[in-house]
Amino acid sequence: MANEEVKLLGAWASPFSCRVENALKLKGVKYEFIEEDLQNKSPLLLQSNPVHKKIPVLIHNGKPIAESLVIIEYIDETWDGYPILPKDPYERAVARFWAKFLDEKCLPALWKACWCTEEEKEKNVEEALGVLKILENELKNKKFFGGNTINMVDIAANFIGYWFGVVQEALGIKLANAESFPALHNYMNEYVKCSHIKEHLPPREKLVGFFRARVQATSSS
Amino acid sequence: MAEEVKLFKTWSSPYGLRAVWALKLKGIEYESIDEDHDNKSPQLLQYNPVHKKIPVLIHNGKPVAESLVIVEYIDETWKQNPILPQDPYECATACFWAKFGDEKVLPSIWRVFIQEGKAQEELLGQAMENLKFLEEQLEGKVFFGGEKIGLVDIALGWIANLTCMLEEISGLKLITQEKFPLLFGWMQNFVCTVFVCLNPKPTERPRQLGGLQALDY
C-alpha cells in the first residue's frame, strides 16, 4: 500500500522489540525504527502506550498498537507475504497457546533463574528447568515450533533461540546442557542459521557486551 | 457434519465461564464436563499436560487450552455472531485490552481483596488506576465490543461476577456508580445479557461461596 507510515518504537537489545522487527522484515514492510531510551522515555512513547509505557509500540498511519504478540498478529493480518500464523483455526490456536506459554511461563522463569540471588537460585533454577523440559518435549522431532519453517511461535521464541544463550554467556553460567536438552540445543543452532531470522538479530558480541555491562551495573550498585 | 464439542471446566472458574459465554453466544451445543480442582481427571491431564488446568475445549477430539485462545478459536471456527472485530486495528485493540484485563486488572483487584489494612490501601491505588483505563474505554459504548458483547467483555466478565462477591465478603466497595459510572453500568448490562438472555433456563441449584450464591449453568 502506497503512502503508508509505519514507525516502531523499540530498543535494539530487547527481544520483544526484535520480535516485531522480525515480523515486519518477514513481510517486507518499510518502517522507521525509533530507538527509545528506556531510562528517559519519549513523549511519543508515553502518549502511544499510556497504559504500560513500554516498548515495542507499532504506529501504523498514526494508530498505535502495543504488546509484541498483539503487534505480530496485527502485522500478519495487515500485510500479505510470509504467513506468520497458520490459516487453520486449530493450528492458530496451538500457535497462540505456545506463544502465550513462552511469554507467561518461560521467559519469566528463565529470566529469574539467570538474575536471581544465591538464596533464590535453587528454586528458580528448578522452575526454569521445568519449563525447558516442556519446550524440549514440544521440539522433539521438529526443527522449529512451526515445523520445517518458522511461524509466530518461533518469532516469539527469540529469547529461547538467541537471548538465553547470550545472557548466560554474559553471566558466565549454563543452565541447560546439551545432553539433557538435545532438542533445545538443536533449536538454538537452527535458529541462528535460519535465513528468516539470523539477519534480523542484533550482533552477538554487542548483545553480550550489553548484558555484561548490566551485570557490572547490578553488582556495583 | 456431526460436531463433537466438549468443555472441561469447573463450576466456579471465571476462565471456564469465558468459554461457556463464547459457545452460548454462537449457539454451539456442547457437553460440559465439570472437573474437581483437587482431583483432576486423567482426560484433563492428557488434554492439557502443560498446565493441567481448565478450561480445555475439545473439538472433534482436538484439545484447545487457555481461555482466551479458546474464545478466539471458537470465533474463528464458527462465524455467526462475531466476537472479534474484522478490522485488524480494532481486533488488535480488543486483544490488547483482553490481555490488560488478565495481566494487570485481575491480579491488582485480587491483591486488594486478599490484603488488609495499610497493605490493602497501598494496593487500592493500582487497582483504581487500572479500572480508570477500563472506564475510559467504555466512553460512548454499551459494551467494550460496542453495541454487542465482544472479546473484551468476555475477558472482563469476571469483574461482573467475582468483584461483587468479593466486595460483599470483604465489605470494601471497589466499583461504585459514583467512582466508575460506565463500568458500573456495563456490569449491569453484562449480567443481564449473559446470565439471563443467554441462559433462559438457569438451573435452580444454588452453590455456596462464602455465604453467597452463584447460579450454576
**Residue of A60, A65, A134 lying closest to B50 (CB–CB):** A134
User: pLDDT by residue (tens digit) across B173-192?
Assistant: 889 999 999 999 999 999 88
Task: Flag if A97 and B64 touch (Cβ within 8 Å).
Answer: yes
Chain A neighbors of B55, CB-CB under 8 A: none
- Contact by Cβ (8 Å): B108, B127: yes
d(CA A168, nearest CA chain B) in Å: 25
Shortest Cα distance, chain B CAs vs residue A104, angstroms = 9
Between A191 and B199, residue with greater pLDDT: A191
Cβ neighbours, 10 Å, residue A150: 24
Q: Tell me if the bond preceding B85 is cis, omega within 30° of 0.
A: no
pLDDT score for A2: 46
Provide the pairing of β-strand A32-35 with A6-10: parallel
CA-based nearest distance A77→chain B, Å? 6
- Residue B103, pLDDT > 60, answer yes
Compute the distance between CA of residue A94 and CA of residue B141 in angstroms, rounded to an integer: 33
Say yes or no for a CB contact (<8 Å) between A65 and B89: yes
User: Per-residue confidence at A117, pLDDT binned at 50, 70, 90?
Assistant: confident
**Distance of alpha carbon A173 from alpha carbon A170, whole angstroms:** 8
- The per-residue pLDDT for B211 is 27
pLDDT in tens, B108-118: 998 888 877 78
The whole-angstrom separation of Cα A67 and Cα A19 is: 11
Work out how many CB contacts closer than 8 A connect A with B. 57
Cell numbers that stand for B116 in this block: 488488609
Q: Distance (Å) from the C-alpha of residue B204 to the closest C-alpha of chain A?
A: 35
Q: Which amino acid is at A211?
A: F
A173 touches chain B (CB under 8 A): no
pLDDT tens for B111-149 read 888 877 788 888 899 999 999 999 999 999 999 999 999
> Considering only CB atoms, which chain A residues are within 8 Å of B76?
89, 92
Answer whether residue A30 shows pLDDT above 50: yes
Percent of chain B residues topping a pLDDT of 90: 68
Indicate if the pLDDT at residue B212 is higher than 90: no
Give the integer Cα–Cα distance in Å for B25 and B8: 18
Q: Report chain A's C-alpha Rg in angstroms.
A: 18
Confidence of residue B197 (pLDDT cuts 50, 70, 90): low
pLDDT at site A3:
61
pLDDT tens per residue across span A154-191: 999 999 999 999 999 999 989 888 999 999 999 999 99
pLDDT of residue B25: 92
C-beta of residue A68 within 8 angstroms of C-beta of residue A76: no
Query: What does the alpha-carbon distance between residue B154 and residue B21 come to, in Å, rounded to a whole number?
Result: 7
Q: Which residue of A has its CA nearest to B129?
A: A51
Nearest to A166 by CA among A110, A219, A218, A120: A110
User: For position B216, what pLDDT does the model report?
Assistant: 35
CA atoms within 13 A on the CB side of B162: 17
Q: Give pLDDT, residue A14.
A: 96
Cβ–Cβ < 8 Å for A166, A175: no
Residues of chain B with a CB closer than 8 angstroms to some CB in chain A:
50, 59, 62, 64-66, 69-70, 72-73, 76-77, 88-89, 91-93, 95-96, 99-100, 104, 133
Q: Scanning every residue of chain B, which has its alpha carbon at the shortest distance from the alpha carbon of A60?
A: B89
Model pLDDT, residue A33: 97
Q: How many CB atoms lie within 10 A of CB B160?
A: 22
CA distance B64 to chain A (A): 7
Positive or negative, the CA dihedral B136, B142, B143, B145 is negative
Q: Do A70 and B77 touch (CB under 8 A)?
A: no
Q: Is the pLDDT of residue B200 over 80?
A: no
**Pick from A60, A79, A75: nearest CA to A5:** A60
**How far is it, in rounded angstroms, from Cα B177 to Cα B182?**
8
Assigned C-alpha cell, B183: 463500568
**What is the residue whose three cell numbers read 527469540?**
A158
Closest Cβ–Cβ partner in B65, B93, B133 for A97: B65
d(CA A46, CA A210): 25
Which of B99, B132, B133 would best serve as a mutation to test chain A binding (most A beta carbons within 10 A)?
B99
Strands (DSSP E) along B29-180, which ranges? 31-34, 56-59, 62-65
Which positions in chain A touch B133 (Cβ < 8 Å)?
51
What is the ipTM score, two decimals? 0.94
Q: Which of B184, B126, B129 is nearest to B160 (CA)?
A: B184
- CB atoms under 10 Å from CB of B99, counted, come to 20
The grid coordinates of residue A99 equal 506463544
Of A70, A78, A97, the CB nearest to B96: A70
The pLDDT score that the predictor gives to residue B168 is: 81
Say what the pLDDT of residue B198 is: 60
Q: Which of residues 128-157 of A touch B (CB under 8 A)?
A: 134
Residue B88 and residue A101: Cβ atoms within 8 Å?
A: no
Q: How far is B95 from chain A (nearest CA, A)?
A: 7
Partner-chain contact B88 A100, CB within 8 Å: no
Distance in angstroms (rounded) separating the CA atoms of residues A120 and A126: 10
- Name residue A34's beta-bridge partners: A9
